[in-house]
Amino acid sequence: MRFFFALWVLYYHGYFPHRVNGFNDGFLAVEFFFVLSGFYLVRSIDKYVDLPLKNGLLTFLKHRFLPIAAPFLINIAFSVYYCFKYGSIFTNDLFGYLWYVRTLFLWMAIIFISRKYIKNQITFYFIWSALSVASLILFLVYPPIDHVGELRALIAIPLGMLVALIPKIKPQSNENFWSKMPALLIAIGVVSSILVCLQIAYMPKTKFIQYFLKIIVYPVMLYFASCVNFSLGFFNWLGSLSFPIYAFQCVLRVLETNMLTNVKYQFALIVAMVLIFSLVDAIIKRHKFKAKSCY
């Protein structure tokens, strides 16, 4: 899912050689990543929240940042070059397409600090759910702010946090027909939510449909997908490509304003960059694993 939503962003930014009439609201793909980040935030934050605030916060953010550090820093360098070359020093231009990372880490830090001091779990989730609802209402009342990334994240991240709290459906291994119902329900939930997501992504969207996708479909899709108990190397690899696909668009943004204007070449270049980065990353990890084993 991460892979395909990253491709949606790439398509929306105009780096696909073939275009169709749909899939023109790429910001909705980013909303999925905010919901997904909220889901994993709940799973990781409690590991560090009992540490002293400074150590816990820094360790937590470091843990979340290290997997994306290399592509992030490479592409921030290109964004900085873009800003200096074209005289634009606005924050969004400085981060380029990586504004998402800035916004995500801002909210992760705030959520971590609030979890540190709000000991009661029910109170903690009630506050963040209320903030999400308030932001949604603000969007509906005052549409001009619907592209403010910080408020978009404030709507979506608590949704993922709440999804992580719902007990998972666990398929049974018995041969009885009724024992197979949980697995059937998971399959129906995953397939139907993906189909609804694709249909909404393709069609022209009213504000209601956009919020329906973000508030209902994404959490449902994430919930049922998280109930699927399997691990396959190919799918893990596809997921690992999602952030490089997203990040290396900063390189294309610089090149397309200078020399590389052909979309086919842009697409071929980002595919090559992502695959090369994946290969180098795999070699480094394998070397570290061998060194650790020998040690």
pLDDT tens digits along 38-48: 998 887 888 88
Quickly state the pLDDT bin for 105 (edges 50, 70, 90).
very high
pLDDT above 90 covers what percent of the chain?
17
Q: How many CB atoms lie within 10 A of CB 173?
A: 7
| pLDDT exceeds 90 at position 109 | yes
pLDDT of residue 84: 76
24/8 Cα distance (integer angstroms) = 9
Is 56 or 208 the better-scoring residue by pLDDT? 56
| pLDDT exceeds 60 at position 98 | yes
Is 271 in contact with 16 (CB distance < 8 Å)? no
186/167 Cα distance (integer angstroms) = 13
| pLDDT exceeds 70 at position 89 | no
CA angle (216, 217, 219) in 5-degree steps: 75
Is 247 in contact with 71 (CB distance < 8 Å)? yes
CA angle (188, 35, 58) in 5-degree steps: 140
pLDDT of residue 34: 92
pLDDT of residue 136: 84
| pLDDT exceeds 80 at position 292 | no
Q: How many CB atoms lie within 10 A of CB 11?
A: 19
| pLDDT exceeds 60 at position 91 | no
Q: What is the mean pLDDT of the chain?
A: 82
Q: What confidence tens digit (pLDDT) does each residue in 131-187 have?
A: 998 988 888 787 777 678 888 899 899 999 999 888 887 766 656 555 567 777 888
pLDDT of residue 275: 93
pLDDT of residue 251: 83
pLDDT of residue 227: 82
Q: What confidence tens digit (pLDDT) does each residue in 119-132 have?
A: 888 999 999 999 99
Considering 57-66, 73-82, 133-142, the range whose residues carry the highest mean pLDDT is 57-66
226 Cβ partners below 8 Å, 6+ apart? 39, 163, 168
pLDDT (mean) for 26-34: 84
Quickly state the pLDDT bin for 78 (edges 50, 70, 90).
confident
pLDDT of residue 90: 58
pLDDT of residue 205: 62
Q: How many CB atoms lie within 10 A of CB 49?
A: 17
Quickly state the pLDDT bin for 111 (edges 50, 70, 90).
very high
pLDDT of residue 184: 79
Is 95 or 222 the better-scoring residue by pLDDT? 222
Q: What confidence tens digit (pLDDT) does each residue in 215-255 have?
A: 888 888 888 888 887 777 888 888 899 999 998 888 887 77
